[in-house]
């Protein structure tokens, strides 16, 4: 990690954060002082796993399917991050029920979660698709090194030398506490295959009853096409310095299995070996493990 802590990254307790957007003080505050409330709802993801999608879905569920808020308020203000310096106060100051996003691995998450009944939705995605998505995102994001080849990003990804550290650590960490916290595990792939069914599962978990028309509206407004055109969640309003969506759109392709278009047999081989080793003690089968 030492090698990787270039000017772009800040290292905190073994995890890398894009410098500028994150500060040690805010990360320490999040971990040690942020007071989780029993009715808080957290959406937790490793980057590029469908974070924005889940934020949009939750936001629409919160407004009973009314798309008005989603069309007028930026998604990062609707469901702000607990660890982002500029948004932490917004996350904190919400009246109950608070909806809060986080990319934090479990060991850096607000400790008070573990003595609370707060709800956590943890969304996981096939790491091969994350890698591809991250590669294109490195064109969009001014704070990431742009690598020409996905092949060059693969070894870094497998070593955890990317933003928010190792995917394996993130997933193993959160799966490890899934029986200690009130956690709903979802995958990008489930959202992709059955958005309506996933919305219903989320509503059920949150204890939120929506009528048919409201569910229809959540689904309709959380489709890739709708979100791609919504300036309040496609990151087109952010300064080009941070996100240049002309270089590569934030909502890029929106499918599962795109890795098959980008992985060479050698990449697959090296990924599979690393995955098998890192996940050998994980007692859980994902849809892509079948
Ligand atoms: P791709 O780059 O594979 O297209 P995050 O929000 O965690 O950064 O994840 C971004 C990824 O989620 C991008 O993946 C983006 O296109 C995808 N995504 C966002 N909204 C989506 C939607 N409504 N349907 C499908 N994919 C979506």
pTM of the model: 0.96
pLDDT in the model for residue 5: 43
Q: How confident is the model at residue 192 (pLDDT cuts 50, 70, 90)?
A: very high
**Which ligand 1 atom is the nearest neighbour of the CA of 224?**
23
Whether the CB of 52 sits within 6 Å of ligand 1: yes
* Torsional sign, CA 112, 117, 118, 119: positive
**CATH number corresponding to 9-289:** 3.40.50.300
Is ipTM beyond 0.90?
Answer: yes
114 versus 1: which is more confidently predicted? 114
41 versus 20: which is more confidently predicted? 41
Decide if pLDDT at 3 tops 60. no
d(CA 119, CA 100): 10
Whether the CB of 253 sits within 6 Å of ligand 1: yes
Angle at 181 between CA 176 and CA 186, to 5 degrees: 70
Decide if pLDDT at 9 tops 80. yes
d(CA 95, CA 289): 40
Cβ–Cβ under 8 Å, residues 101 and 42: yes
Cβ–Cβ under 8 Å, residues 43 and 99: yes
Decide if pLDDT at 4 tops 60. no
**Catalytic residue at 103?**
yes
pLDDT in tens, 141-150: 887 877 789 9
d(CA 288, CA 263): 15
Whether the CB of 26 sits within 6 Å of ligand 1: no
Decide if pLDDT at 6 tops 70. no
pLDDT in tens, 10-27: 999 999 998 888 999 999
Among all chains, which residue has been given the structure tokens 């506490």? 177
Find, among 40, 98, 62, 39, the residue nearest to 214 by Cα.
62
Q: Which two tokens stand for residue 152?
A: 């060059």
**Domain extents for the chain?**
9-289
Contacts of 281 (CB under 8 A, 6+ apart): none
pLDDT in the model for residue 7: 58
Decide if pLDDT at 88 tops 90. no
């Amino acid at each position: 990690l030492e090698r990787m802590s270039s000017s772009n990254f800040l290292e905190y307790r073994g995890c890398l954060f894009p410098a500028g957007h994150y500060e040690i003080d805010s990360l320490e505050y999040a971990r040690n002082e942020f007071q989780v409330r029993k009715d808080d709802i957290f959406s937790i993801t490793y980057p590029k796993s469908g974070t924005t999608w889940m934020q949009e879905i939750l936001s629409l569920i919160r407004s009973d399917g009314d798309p008005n808020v989603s069309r007028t308020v930026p998604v990062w203000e609707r469901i702000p991050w607990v660890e982002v310096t500029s948004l932490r106060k917004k996350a904190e100051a919400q009246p109950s029920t608070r909806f809060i996003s986080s990319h934090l691995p479990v060991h850096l998450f607000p400790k008070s979660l573990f003595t609370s009944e707060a709800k956590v939705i943890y969304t996981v995605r096939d790491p091969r698709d994350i890698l591809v998505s991250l590669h294109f995102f490195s064109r969009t994001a001014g704070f990431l090194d742009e690598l020409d080849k996905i092949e060059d990003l693969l070894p870094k990804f497998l070593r955890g030398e990317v933003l928010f550290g190792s995917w394996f650590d993130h997933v193993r960490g959160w799966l490890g506490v899934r029986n200690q916290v009130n956690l709903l595990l979802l995958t990008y792939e489930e959202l992709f295959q059955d958005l309506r069914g996933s919305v219903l599962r989320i509503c059920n978990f949150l204890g939120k009853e929506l009528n048919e028309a409201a569910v229809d509206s959540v689904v309709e407004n959380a489709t890739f096409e709708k979100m791609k055109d919504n300036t309040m969640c496609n990151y087109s309003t952010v300064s080009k310095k941070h996100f240049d969506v002309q270089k590569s759109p934030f909502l890029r392709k929106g499918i599962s299995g795109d890795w098959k278009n980008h992985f060479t047999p050698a990449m697959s081989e090296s990924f599979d070996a690393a995955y098998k080793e890192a996940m050998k003690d994980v007692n859980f089968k994902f849809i892509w493990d079948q």
